[in-house]
Amino acid sequence: MQAIIELAGLKVRFGKQEILKDLTIGLSGRTIGLLGPNGAGKSTLIQTLLGFCPVAAGTATVLGYDIRRQTREVRALVGYMPENDSFIANMSAVSFIRMMGELSGLPADAALERAHEVLFYVGLGEARYRTLGTYSLGMKQMAKLAQALIHGPRLLILDEPTNGLDPSARRRMLRLIRDIRDAGQIHILLCSHLLRDVEETCEEVLILKEGQIVYYSDLVQEHKNNQRFVEIETSGPDRGLAEALVDLGCTCTAQGAGRLKMVVPDHFELRDIFRVAADLDLPLRRLNYRRDTLEDIFLKAMEA
């Protein structure tokens, strides 16, 4: 599968400070999550892919086009929803979105038709003649998504799309992102500090720290292969509970008096824990079952 975004030794400097440090990776998922703490280089990477930051060394391609030699081709195929508002406040939404369509290369009539279509698609059809300065935060976020979609991009870059949204507006935005993903026509690069947004929408995740790649994962495969963890707390010494569970194929680690953490195999049934405990006449005070979440993965990457 051809990489949608391919980085090869990519370095970016601002003055003497190196912001992106020798990034090398190929990303080909339908939806790619970009994570990292503040100052990790996420926004710089996005701006570099769009041709706004000079490359100090290495290269990158977007949809097969070199970001330095073929910047116009890249921008023609990419829709960008920035984190910060970039509106003309006294323009109506439909006029602004139409203008953005024309700037993307659409003829005037086609741009106007598409402006109406995308505004209805994001839920702003009834408010499309209102000036953008009167929009709420949630409506402005939807308008930013509309301008990113108007020219029918092949790659949609979303920078903090749910930033500041209330719960209902956030659900609506994530539903739209999933709809775009599932339609299969557009790839998505989603930059967010909200891990749950990435976990709900993305197939791949890339984590940056201090301008370097510290973790990459195919989340679909990760969920298939993810280990199951069980934490147990007993009412006293385990009386051989750990040894009995090891015999059943579990990996056990003592966490203190009467506390065990286990990795259980796929075929293992949780009721076997209660059966073994009953055979040993050992009361269980607590049992917690879970798989690794994206938060666990992120925290481990930050500790590396």
Q: Which domains does the chain have, with CATH numbers?
A: 5-88+146-223 (3.40.50.300), 226-303 (3.30.70.270)
**Structure confidence by residue, pLDDT tens digits, 290-302:** 666 676 666 666 7
What pLDDT sits at residue 301?
Answer: 65
What pLDDT sits at residue 86?
Answer: 86
d(CA 111, CA 10): 35
Per-residue pLDDT of the chain in tens (304 residues, 90 and over written 9):
678 999 999 999 998 899 999 999 999 889 999 999 888 999 999 999 999 999 999 999 999 999 999 999 999 999 999 998 888 999 999 999 999 999 999 999 999 999 999 999 999 999 999 999 999 999 999 999 999 999 999 999 999 999 889 999 999 999 999 999 999 899 999 998 888 899 889 989 999 999 999 988 877 666 555 556 778 888 777 678 888 888 888 878 777 777 887 777 777 787 888 888 888 888 888 887 766 667 666 666 676 5
Helix (H) or strand (E) holding 268: none
What pLDDT sits at residue 186?
Answer: 95
What pLDDT sits at residue 226?
Answer: 57
Assign residue 121 a region: left if phi > 0, alpha if psi is -120 to 50, beta otherwise?
Answer: alpha
**Structure confidence by residue, pLDDT tens digits, 92-148:** 999 999 999 999 999 999 999 999 999 999 999 999 999 999 999 999 999 999 999
DSSP-assigned beta bridge partners for residue 153:
none
Q: Tell me, what DSSP letter sits at residue 92?
A: B
